[in-house]
Structure 1
Amino acid sequence: MEKNEHFFYVLRCRDGSFYAGYTNDLKKRISMHNEGKGAKYTRGRGPVELIYYEVFATKTEAMRAEYSFKQLNRAQKEQIIDKKEKTVHAAAEKL
């Protein structure tokens, strides 16, 4: 991964809930979530699993995608994730 990549990502928590976020280092950020050092929301809900992500050229674009995702209802979020989940699992194994 290049330094100038910006990620919007979605995690599935142990309780089945979703967490959406932004980072410029996806592998490190997922590790932080699983170590209990990530977002307050994911503490106590781990381990988390990466189920979706997109790469953007700028932080602004990635954060815009995160915001848009958070405006959706659960069914809409699941639709987006279901379309991409198989691809993300394959890519996540390379992280």
Structure 2
Amino acid sequence: MSAESALLTTWSLYLIRDKDNRLYTGITTDVSRRFAQHQAGKGARNLRGRAPLTLHWHTEIGDHSQALKAEYRLKQWPKSRKERLPQHPEWIENLISV
């Protein structure tokens, strides 16, 4: 991938719920592909053996740098707030601004 195409790539932020009701936060350029990798046990080690997995929420977030910052901020949120994120799309601004 060239530097120019990397800048044009849109990244997404996502939450996956595992069998124990835990939420995993990640970023990707292709949510469907990445979720399939997680389900196949080829994604994050944290989710291996934790099936069934469900995609709790996802949204496009911007470039790679914005996605990394938003992922970090979302990981700081308490689980109770992450649970409510799908009902409050306006909260995304809290993840990408600052």
TM-score of the superposition, structure 2-length normalised?
A: 0.75
Residues 56-65 or 16-25, more deviating:
56-65
* Count of matched residue pairs: 82
Gaps of 5+ in 2: 1-7, 89-98
In 2, the alpha carbon distance for the partners of 1:77 and 1:48 equals: 16
SS for the counterpart of 2:38 is helix
SS for the counterpart of 1:51 is strand
**Equivalent pair of 1:33/1:46 in contact (CA under 8 Å):** no
More helix as a share of residues: 2
Q: Mark the structure with the bigger radius of gyration.
A: 2
RMSD in angstroms over aligned alpha carbons? 1.8
In 2, the alpha carbon distance for the partners of 1:72 and 1:57 equals: 20
TM-score of the superposition, structure 1-length normalised?
A: 0.77
**Which residue of structure 1 lines up, in the alignment, with residue 35 of structure 2?**
30
Gaps of 5+ in 1: 85-95
**Which residue of structure 2 lines up, in the alignment, with residue 54 of structure 1?**
59
List structure 1 runs of 4+ shifted beyond 3 angstroms. Answer: none
